[in-house]
Structure 1
């Protein structure tokens, strides 16, 4: 595998959608460093990724990555924009389930060493998501 080609897509398809949390250890390095602002209570390292996935899968059990595009891969870096959809059927950051369908974006950039993610930079549009579930005024 050259650079990080396909790691982000595997993460969203197999981990986020499919719930395969064991794959996090295969895709991520023990020295993984997260640069995205953490969610309340989110630990660092690979445990932080598990927390992130569990938080979203618990709140949006039907979560899908509707679009993963474009994937840009060069050297040891990979970046993409992802459109996520799901139904708010579980608590999310203290907000009780609303049954509302959401669609929000995330942008991810990773650095890969020896086939594993060692760093991640990302932005998740939590404002748009919170507006859709009525937690924040539009």
Structure 2
């Protein structure tokens, strides 16, 4: 297991997993018992649900996908990050056809890290507002 600080683990996850869609890094950084407390009601809250969001929702919809960690605070085993996921809307995004517009989704999340792996996640994001703006184009 990684002996990196929880903040380093979260930064690595954002770059290697979300931005670069690296499955090996995902498997290394995710605890099998991971729980996403922010999963939509009625959807799975485990690790595969989170991977599917990156692989089947974000990456097909957003070319040039980038994750920028704007602020990060760590205390004990929890890390809070304010970040921006951006790209160009070149594929369908949750039912919204490609607009080729630049997109920026702002996110604040809290991750609990244990033994160098994600074990819990809570988060809020601006995706609903982004989808509304894309629909209005």
Q: Same fold (TM over 0.5)?
A: yes
CA contact (8 A) 1:110 1:119 kept: yes
Residue 125 of structure 1 corresponds to which residue in structure 2? 126
Task: Identify unmatched segments of 5+ residues in structure 1.
Answer: none
Residue 5 of structure 1 corresponds to which residue in structure 2? 7
Bigger shift: residues 31-40 or 89-98: 31-40
Cα offset, 1:7, TM superposition: 2.1
Cα offset, 1:56, TM superposition: 0.4
Task: Identify unmatched segments of 5+ residues in structure 2.
Answer: none
SS in 1 for 2:64: coil
CA distance in 2, matches of 1:23, 1:31: 16
RMSD between aligned residues? 2.0
CA contact (8 A) 1:3 1:77 kept: no
State yes or no: 1:89 paired with 2:63.
no
CA contact (8 A) 1:62 1:86 kept: yes
State yes or no: 1:44 paired with 2:82.
no
CA contact (8 A) 1:3 1:74 kept: no
CA distance in 2, matches of 1:5, 1:77: 8
State yes or no: 1:14 paired with 2:16.
yes
Count of residue pairs the alignment pairs up = 134
Cα offset, 1:136, TM superposition: 5.2
CA distance in 2, matches of 1:2, 1:9: 11
1:109 to 1:125, Cα distance in 2 relative to 1, 3 A: same
User: Which TM-score applies when normalising by structure 1?
Assistant: 0.86
List, as ranges, runs of 4+ consecutive aligned residues in structure 1 with deviation greater than 4 Å. none
State yes or no: 1:112 paired with 2:113.
yes
- Please point out which of 24, 35, 48 is paired with 2:37: 35
Cα offset, 1:105, TM superposition: 0.2
